[in-house]
Amino acid sequence: MKLPLLCLPFAGAGASVFRPWREHEAQTFEVAPIQLPGREELFIEDPYTSLTEAATGTAERILAAAGEGPYALFGHSFGALLAYATTQLLHSKGLRLPERLIVSGAAAPWLPRPHIGVHDLSDDELASRVHQLVGYDHDAFHDPELRELVIPALRADMGINETPSATPGPGNPLPVAISALRGVDDALVSRDATAQWAAATSTGFELIDVPGEHMYFSENWPTLWTTIDELLLRARQEGLMRSQTAS
């Protein structure tokens, strides 16, 4: 039985960024994109404007999508921050946790994050600064009508992302194994900042280098897809070995 991989996108993006994954079959997982309010078919809903609000709403969506069985959770960049905050919330409420948290293109969430003063920028300036920051240029930025649909969610996500963390450290480590993925040429997130995710878990941690820059996610998704398949297969095999040893 394949593990549902619930996926949270980067800032401003919608669930459609994960649709190409559905065209390929993985050994270990099946993709279950989580749509956030304020984008694509949910564009009429107001986007989340705080991490607490986002984690609360995302927790509900995740549990609904996961059904009754086990699941894994993936997030890239802003999505990684949201995945972590949501898992923290689930843990604090004694709700069902993911079997594995896969964070991509993100520093440990208690570290300082890039600040561009999102609330003081015009739409044009915001699109330009995001492109400069992460090297990603959305097609919708060049279409005035589409941009009106994309910018509000991007502005809200970037506003959450650049809000300083309320705590200087990870607090209580999660009882969830964490795999942290980073593009080897990522100029935005250092390897050391990625390695600090190890403090967020009491169960197990691995840092995996992948080819590409910060937005390797959108530039070469098959590599990411294969990497996740391999790490989940390895985790499954290690779990079987532990259970056999215990018995």
Q: Is 239 left (phi over 0), alpha (psi -120 to 50) or beta?
A: alpha
* Residue whose C-alpha is closest to residue 232's, from 220, 244, 221, 240: 240
Rg (CA), the chain: 17
- Does the annotation mark 214 as catalytic? yes
Please provide residue 65's backbone torsions phi and psi, each rounded to the nearest 5 degrees.
-75, -30
* Residue whose C-alpha is closest to residue 73's, from 94, 92, 88: 88
- Strands 29-33 and 3-8 turn out to be parallel
- Does the annotation mark 77 as catalytic? yes
Longest CA–CA separation in the chain, Å: 62
**96: exposed, middle or buried (C-beta count within 10 Å: 0-12, 13-18, 19+)?**
middle
Q: Which of 76, 179, 214, 218 is catalytic?
A: 214
Q: Which of 77, 104, 179, 218 is catalytic?
A: 77
Give the span between the Cα atoms of 126 and 162, in whole angstroms: 13
For the record, the structure tokens of 106 come out as 């993100």
Give the span between the Cα atoms of 177 and 101, in whole angstroms: 6
| Residues designated as active site | 77, 214
